[in-house]
Structure 1
Amino acid sequence: MDIRRITDAADVLAAGELFDDAPAPEWTQRFLDRAGHHLLLAYSDGIAVGMVTGIELLHPDKGVEMILYELGVLPDYRRRGIASALIDRLAALARTAGCYDMWVLIEKENDAARLTYLSAGGEYDGETLFVWDFGTATDAGATSD
């Protein structure tokens, strides 16, 4: 498996089945062009089989944190560690960007998401929130004014 940070909208559009709806070319390029917006694709034998998106948020009193916004893996490739690998890579990117944590919200009844985020090391609040704590706040990851 190969995980790549994507900067070209054509790569996202070619992997459209990984998203809830078909990615729109204009929105895709705007997302990729924005500082602090991240999209990673996982490839197996040259086929995009998984994706994760993350968005950095800068707070005046906290520093930068990463929201794990969306995660998807093709049904035939699930339960192979692809989702965990994507989460780990986004977490590494968040640490490099100076984020103090990364978090994701789930629907309480989504057992698959809960198990995925638990296996990827997220700390669960027992309701809807998973957090990966990276330590103290820093402005190293500040991406916009």
Structure 2
Amino acid sequence: MTQPSPPPDIRPARSVAELLAASPLFDAPVHPSHALDFLGREGHHLFLAYADGEPVGFISGVETTHPDKGPEMLLYELGVAPAHRRLGIGRALIEALAEVARERGCRGMWVGVEPGNRAALAAYRSAGAVNEGRFAMLGWELE
């Protein structure tokens, strides 16, 4: 009989040092000035998940408001270290961000995800998300 995994330790990120320590979880190395800017902006949220004192996952969200919709939470990015996937860490991070969204009066939370990213889709669905099938994501490189 296998022991269930202990619940992840989820905490809001408060310092650049924390984000630098979690840098391997991001798509690219954390840039200190960008991290400081993100942490200092109202409506920007980032949670870290820890296992045995080490960062093993993160989620970031950005509040946005539109005149005809009111406040919403954009789940900007979710990342969990490969060795820690399928243990409920992604779901716990999503739930932490959703709780902040509720506390801040957001009417909903949404995320764009590649249709072939089965791991992300499974994590989002396990936390209660449904495919609304309403948009295609297009982008511009501005640099």
TM-score range, shorter chain: 0.7 to 0.9
Once the two structures are TM-superposed, the CA of residue 17 in structure 1 deviates from its matched residue by: 0.5
Query: What are the Cα deviations for residues 43-75 of structure 1, in whole angstroms up to 9, with x where unaligned?
Result: 111010000000000112221100000000000
Higher strand share: 1
Tell me, yes or no, if structure 1 residue 73 matches structure 2 residue 65: no
Q: C-alpha separation between the residues in 2 aligned to 1:13 and 1:109?
A: 29
Amino acid at match of 1:50: G
Per the alignment, residue 66 of structure 2 pairs with: 59
> In 1, distance between residues paired with 2:66 and 2:38?
20
Q: SS at the partner of 1:35?
A: coil
Name structure 2 gaps, 5 residues minimum.
Answer: 1-7, 137-143
Unaligned runs of 5+ in 1: 130-145
- Give 4+ residue runs of structure 1 displaced > 3 Å after superposition: 126-129
Give, in whole Å, the separation in 1 of the partners of 2:72 and 2:106. 5
- Taking the aligned partners of 2:16 and 2:131, their CA distance within structure 1 comes to 33
Write out per-residue CA displacement over residues 109-138 of structure 1, whole angstroms, 9 at most, x where no aligned residue. 111111111111101125768xxxxxxxxx
Q: 2 CA distance for matches of 1:63 and 1:7?
A: 27
Partner residue of 1:117 out of 121, 124, 139:
124
Matched residue count: 129
TM-score by length of 2: 0.86
What is the Cα deviation at residue 31 of structure 1?
0.4
Where does residue 18 of structure 2 map in the other structure?
A: 11
Give the corresponding residue for 1:20. 27
- Cα distance between partner residues in 1 of 2:29 and 2:116: 26
- Supply the RMSD in Å over aligned alpha carbons: 1.4
% same residue = 51
* Normalised TM-score (structure 1): 0.85
